Structure 1
């Protein structure tokens, strides 16, 4: 089922033994367009600390009560690695987080809301996540030193390598979307599939280009994101987006709409 990310901000996170806090943001991989972490503000319980929780920890959501239960205890969360969510999350921090919770690597997996078990039947890869990510860090550091020259070697051991693909929903909100021949509008929201935690569509506020209507654009249409100037780009023309399905927050996203969305964008991607 598709959900607006904006509609999920403020959901209560519930551990097995009490409330954890409120959802404040979502981190996603801008290459795979999959949600990797929910950013949870713990409030007075942990003195305003924010924690990252992977979708693999989620159980069946209570949509009416706006609650995301997780199969973790408050004590587990209290003693999780302290990560400053206002700064880029390093790969080592991700490795520490996954190691603490015994989470598998969730890249490329179809992780949805769970019902039982720590990882809900998600099979961990043969190589533990913390070992795999450490190997990636070594390769990344080698490449960085090679690109920057020998003077970088003295500082490489003290530098943490950020996950350059890990991005925040709130950071992307407001980005300008450009087509090959002009501007389409601004990113207002993202739609996530609660079965897979993928992000198949962006909600674009079209402004004067298209009477201010909100349209749904497939993430498959996005060829590049430039974070330094807050833009996303598509090689398609503005005209190719004119018939994109409209989006209305006041109307529920029912199954028929989901089907028509996927059918439309599958057809448009072939043209």
Structure 2
């Protein structure tokens, strides 16, 4: 099921013996748009740290209760490698997490894991040669392709013939935890309209300018199948949308 990323924030993460915390963000690979980690706010339980959970540990989402079960215990989570709230996620930290839980890296082969997104949890490429952070981690140790869903909100989307709008949200597939679509507010030139842009249409992302270049035109956008900001995205709608833009097969 496709859900707005903002609507998933605050969902409770339930271990086998209690509550771990709530979803605060998603970290994904900017080349595949696959979620690599869920960022969990542990509230008063582990007050000085964030917890990263791998999608493979997550069971079926209960949207009615706003809960996600995970195949972990509270003791396992408490004993996991620590990531402070303001510390970037290094590739070494990711390896420690994979080793600790026995998780398999998703779709990244023998290395850590095509599209680039800036994250408050990782250093943008512009800082690749900057001094070490206060945590002692040099930005070059951070995976430049690990990005935050939260950070992309507000980015300007530029089409082939001008501005399309701003990123207002993203749609997340709660089965595979991929990000198939960006939700764009086109209100600056098409009052009150929201449109979906596939990840396949993204050509380039500038973290400095907070811009996304997309392989679409205003004419295409205006003629696209209509979608309400809270509307469902069923298989028939996806088929029409992908046929309209000539995007690859849906999801």
**TM-score interval, smaller chain:** 0.7 to 0.9
| 1:245/1:28 CA distance change after superposition, 3 Å | farther
2:163 alignment counterpart: 183
Cα shift at 1:245: 3.5
Cα shift at 1:269: 6.3
Measured in 1, the distance between the counterparts of 2:3 and 2:50 equals: 23
Give the one of 216, 225, 229 matched to 2:209.
Answer: 229
Q: TM-score, normalised by structure 1?
A: 0.76
2:89 alignment counterpart: 89
Q: Is the 8 A contact 1:11 1:68 kept in 2?
A: yes
1:52 alignment counterpart: 52
Matches within 5 A, 1:110-121: none
Measured in 2, the distance between the counterparts of 1:88 and 1:249 equals: 33
Cα deviations by residue, 1:221-259 (Å, 9 ceiling, x for unpaired)? 100111122111124333232223443244344444344
Structure 2 portions without partners, runs of 5+: 113-127
1:193 alignment counterpart: 173
1:71 alignment counterpart: 71
Matches within 5 A, 1:249-264: 249-264=229-244
Measured in 1, the distance between the counterparts of 2:167 and 2:243 equals: 22
1:161 alignment counterpart: 141
Cα shift at 1:268: 5.2
Name the structure where helix makes up a greater proportion of residues.
Answer: 1
Measured in 2, the distance between the counterparts of 1:71 and 1:262 equals: 36
1:10 alignment counterpart: 10
Please say which of residues 232-241 and 34-43 is displaced more in the overlay. 232-241
Cα shift at 1:187: 0.4
Cα shift at 1:60: 1.3
Q: Does residue 190 of structure 2 align to residue 210 of structure 1?
A: yes
Q: Does residue 153 of structure 2 align to residue 173 of structure 1?
A: yes
1:107 alignment counterpart: 107
1:243 alignment counterpart: 223
Equivalenced residue count is 228
Q: TM-score, normalised by structure 2?
A: 0.82
Q: Does residue 9 of structure 2 align to residue 23 of structure 1?
A: no
| 1:30/1:61 CA distance change after superposition, 3 Å | same
1:32 alignment counterpart: 32
| 1:158/1:70 CA distance change after superposition, 3 Å | closer
Cα shift at 1:167: 0.8
Measured in 2, the distance between the counterparts of 1:263 and 1:181 equals: 21
Q: Is the 8 A contact 1:88 1:163 kept in 2?
A: no
Structure 1 portions without partners, runs of 5+: 109-124, 134-146
